[in-house]
Structure 1
Amino acid sequence: MRRTRVWSTRVLIIGAAVVWTSGVVVLRLLDQIDSATTAALVALGLLAGGLFQMQRLNRSLDRRHQLQAAALTRLSSQSDQHNAAFAALRAELDTLAGRSLSYLAGLTVQLHQHNGEFSALHTELDTLTQHSISRDELRSDLLTTYHQLEALQNLYSVIELDQPIPQTRGFATSPDLLLLLVDLVRVRRPHLIVTCGSGMSTVWLALALRKFGIDGRVVALEHDQRCHDETRALIETRGLGDLAEVRLAPLEPVDVDGDSFRWYTRSAWEDLTDIEILFVDGPPPASSGRLARLPALPLLAKHLRSDHVVVLDDTYRTDEREIAASWLQMFPEYSPDGLSLEKEAVVLRSQSTNRAPELTENEAQTRAPRERRKVRRR
């Protein structure tokens, strides 16, 4: 009977804990409570169950002490011939009482430990809550990732690949910008493309030239030996050597309007003429300092064809936005198009040409959300 009663009590405690936890989880799923409250309620339910179990043990011990006291009363009324047995029994009972006290002391210590662990858990949950991202930030990040996957799918549908290609995003060019560059190649059919910096953009531009049957080439300027070698290997393994070239161009001091910069050595680019697409994605600020990419347009201006296009990447950064503003002051004939890409970009077209500047299909898609936001502001 006692075992059945003990198991019934345990089942009752466990069932109550499960019901309590399930209720808290349901409230959390229904957004009735936040994460911190959820954790606190779950911990409170567990603590209440532990306290109820300890109270049950205390009651059991009290009953045991009462039985022991009754036994002692009965033994004291017996004759002297049972004194020896009584003394032995008393000693045994004292031992049991000592163990009971030790057990209670151990439970008290464990309770203090659990209280400390609960406090530490509560502190950790508060810290996690303070540093957790909001729903809007998570929604924005997921939407950005979706757009990049969509752009990557469009790239793969336009240009069929016969072997794996390294990942994009991060330090590499994002898929939405690669799609823009491929679309520029498709529309303009350039004979010479120059990229400041090398990598995935060099490979995809060469793939676009091959896909659309364009008699042109890509020349990438790269100051870093490791990046230079890696890009050359990508080009050679994909059979793009006749369409793309990576030139090792160490950085050297240059002067632009009285300001000193470190840019690609002149010997690497002075022979390039009639550039139709200039993609500026280097050098990185970590290698050459603030406004690292500013010399690109002033130094290459005389090497550009009349109906050229300039694409400046990473305009989400302050430096690149200042560079774009400086270029527009130096060359007011340019018409800028800011594109809402993952890392943002600016496309510059000269207004002095007779040919009207045309947006590619991808540019039109990336500009549409920005134009809609302008209308809403009005």
Structure 2
Amino acid sequence: MPAEPLTRGRRADLLPAEHPPPTDLLLPAARGRMVTESPATGGPPPPAPVFRALRLLLAALALAGSVAAAVRTGTSGSGWGGLARVLGTHLGLDVEPLPPLTDSLVWDLRLPRVLMAALVGASLAVCGTVLQAVTRNALADPYLLGVSSGASAGAVTVVVLGVGAGALGVTGGALAGALLSFGLFLLLLRRTGLDSDRIVLTGVVVGQLFTALTSLVLMAAADADTTRAVTHWLLGSMAPARWDTVAVCAIVTPLGLVAAWLCSNALDGLAFGTDTAASLGIGVRRTRMLLLVVTAALTAVAVATVGAIGFVGLIVPHGVRFLVGPLHRVLLPYAALAGAVFLVWTDALARIAFAPREVPVGVITALLGVPLFLLVLCKRGEL
């Protein structure tokens, strides 16, 4: 009997029995296959290119609308007309400027803050998506590699010891700590390889080490006011966002997103295991190293500028995967947009929920993330 010809859309049929696909990373309807089946195989047809482009455009417009609405949201609302006048003034258009105080509130405080929330949300969501595929772990998030703990240790050391000046000193210390922790992470993996289990375990070890160092510095040298300020920073806040830090994120984030998207096919293979990826011609070790560097860079910049914000990189990939499917060339752009929208509105809620007191945005993401994650699990039939 002649062998069945290989057809596109049936790559999962090549999987050996001892390496089942990671069903925790796929939709229930898509479990057991890597790509959507074509009409010839009896599955639902993929959406037309025009429909896909329209859907992506609507998602981008939702992000733009969220940014605009969040900028004018606050205890001192400026209105849509005021927002347009501020933007027109700083773009050099012939419009009547607002009073200097209102103009500074919108241009120097709110707009950088909202843009930073969008950039950080996109970074964390994409990092979570990538790491969940690389490690084949549904609970993987951007802080899996210990980079967040290293950044926190660096920032705490700067604040307590008084090295550097202002926000740039804290940001520089956090970035240095993140790079140091990631360097230690790679050093520990230099001979043991880059398989999923070792990545997870090494990340946990590095994270715990730098968490202990953070606690040691606080207990040994910090006073009550410093400890309070550091704790607020560790919970994550967009308040330190300024145009210079937004510019750094605006450079790093798109580069990281493009690099991850270019590895979409490799991520599809890695989600099915090392052996399957290698059989498809993917350089597993090289690809994993590249993706780990990309996620570490994105996470380091995000944590260095706004602190550690949990649950964005955990729940957003699962929610988007449930809506658009497991293919990473589609999943990554939507995860970036969804993460940006989610964090923009979460930060707006953190600003106004207990005004005039501001709640760290990490607290709000945790309060919203737990029920949303449980809802995703229920929808997938895993709870």
The answer to whether the superposition gives a TM-score over 0.5 is: no
Larger Rg: 1
Larger relative helix fraction: 2
Q: TM-score, normalised by structure 1?
A: 0.24
Larger relative strand fraction: 1
Q: TM-score, normalised by structure 2?
A: 0.24
Greater relative contact order (Cα < 8 A, sep 6+): 2
